[in-house]
Structure 1
């Protein structure tokens, strides 16, 4: 099975890369949205899946990346690449400035603190003239969906390769040690504060790049959409559904749930949100460790796997 994994991944990657050649405009646009969500899920996977800190603030990085591109292109008349760099700098600076105090919190305290960050940042940006205040910014249009699609795919590949590196590096082992037992990691000599802040910044880089691509693609930016709290929920759900702390789980979760959401929205628009919520609740109850864990254990335990999860996580 493991021997077939790499060839299968390569086949899927080639098929995705060639989508602009055979796909419709709708498929390409759906692909851009899905790939960017997968990037966000992989970014959250670094801090939430491998480090064990359930951040609800990654949409701040997304918004900073979007505004980095918007400010650079609209206010300073600079190229898109410079805007992407500026957005990453903003995200990394934010991660270091606020990561140190916020990452001292644990569990639900950390989750609540990071959830508030998006609202605070939206309020701040709404009063900054350079960022267009509440009105927002209108970016110069570039009607080239294949370009944005390929950019999104390349970014997802880079994020996944980074996760792959984490699984084989001393830094990644340190993050896993923090997730499993932070006090034990300290005893083992892991500089937990530095590791957590670096993981927070690394997650921020990919979220900021995704935000920059999305801002240039839709050509409009305002505080409410850039720092959308629901985006945090989406990336977390997709990562958890696929399997947090795994290489491909967040990608699989993003693709499956994006497809379900799109299908329900087109077929039963009025209750699409309800059906989508039910799917998530059932998935969390039956397989709280994601699809990756199901694939590892179902063949050995069968249907008892789901029964055991219901007993352990019953409400």
Structure 2
């Protein structure tokens, strides 16, 4: 069974890798956006799905990764790889410095605190001359969409393999224990503070790398777009829609919702947002554990799966 899953996974990656050669330019650009959103959802899955801390601060990591690339390439004339590394360093430093105090909070207090971080970073970067202040920075153009596509796909594969490793590692078991019962995990000997900060930093690494790739691809960056809270909401919705706390759930969610959003935007432009919102609400009510749980259990329970979820929500 595991062999067949590995073969199917390799076939899917190979098919996706060939898109720049058999797909249109529009499909490649759509693919870059979707793959990067999947990376962000997978990164959030580490801190939100496995650790149980619903972070609204991953957009800060995304912004720091974007500015790391922009500052390195524009201000210091360094190569793109150095910019990516600089962005990761900024994200990890941020996670270590603020992770300890912020991760002491729980529930909606933690969510509100991380939500405020994005606003604070926007204000700070807007006043830093090195970062272009409110005007932003213009990166040197590189018209090579296939390269950005393959970079995005490679990053998604790396993020997914990391999450798969979590499901089998001592570190991952510790995160799941924190999610289920943090006090109980501490009693059992789990260093909850260390594990939470490490998960926060690991989540930030993938968000920062995605931000750096996106910044170089679009060649322009300003504080509002770099630390956009709406992007954080998207990654959470995609992870939850696909199945938070699973290996492939965020990927399935990102691909599914990106396709739905693109279809609605092209076919029903005036009401796309309304229909998209309706899809999300219906999904949360009918399949609160995501698409992966639906695919696993629907074959056995059929329509009763949806009825049980509706009853659970007392609708």
**TM-score in terms of structure 1 length:** 0.98
1:134 counterpart SS class: coil
The match for 2:206 is 206
Once the 2 structures are TM-superposed, how far is the Cα of residue 283 of structure 1 from its aligned partner? 0.2
Q: 1:240-284: per-residue Cα shift (whole Å, max 9, x none)?
A: 010011111100110010000011111111111111000000000
CA RMSD of superposed structures (Å): 0.9
Q: 1:187-225: per-residue Cα shift (whole Å, max 9, x none)?
A: 110000000000000000000000000000000000000
Count the aligned residue pairs: 315
Q: 1:110-169: per-residue Cα shift (whole Å, max 9, x none)?
A: 111111111110011000000000000000000000000000000001001100111111
Cα distance in 2 for partners of 1:114, 1:54 equals: 9
- In the TM superposition, 1:54-93 aligns within 5 A as 54-93=54-93
1:143 counterpart SS class: coil
Cα distance in 1 for partners of 2:69, 2:3 equals: 42
- In the TM superposition, 1:90-129 aligns within 5 A as 90-129=90-129
The match for 2:154 is 154
**TM-score in terms of structure 2 length:** 0.98
Cα distance in 2 for partners of 1:224, 1:272 equals: 23
Ranges in structure 1 where 5+ consecutive residues have no aligned partner? none
Is 1:233 matched with 2:233? Answer: yes
The match for 1:185 is 185
1:241 counterpart SS class: helix
Cα distance in 1 for partners of 2:240, 2:207 equals: 17
Is 1:224 matched with 2:196? Answer: no
The match for 2:275 is 275
The match for 2:249 is 249
The match for 1:291 is 291
Ranges in structure 2 where 5+ consecutive residues have no aligned partner? none
Once the 2 structures are TM-superposed, how far is the Cα of residue 43 of structure 1 from its aligned partner? 0.1
The match for 1:32 is 32
- In the TM superposition, 1:136-175 aligns within 5 A as 136-175=136-175
Structure 1, 86-95 or 291-300: larger mean CA deviation: 291-300
Note closer, same or farther for the CA distance 1:302–1:2 as it changes in structure 2 (3 Å cut): farther
Contact 1:285 1:314 in 2 (8 A): no
Cα distance in 1 for partners of 2:244, 2:264 equals: 25
Q: 1:70-125: per-residue Cα shift (whole Å, max 9, x none)?
A: 00000111110010000000000000111111100111111111111111100110
Once the 2 structures are TM-superposed, how far is the Cα of residue 2 of structure 1 from its aligned partner? 5.1
Cα distance in 2 for partners of 1:254, 1:222 equals: 25
The match for 1:48 is 48
Contact 1:241 1:289 in 2 (8 A): yes
Is 1:262 matched with 2:272? Answer: no
Note closer, same or farther for the CA distance 1:314–1:124 as it changes in structure 2 (3 Å cut): farther
Cα distance in 1 for partners of 2:289, 2:210 equals: 26
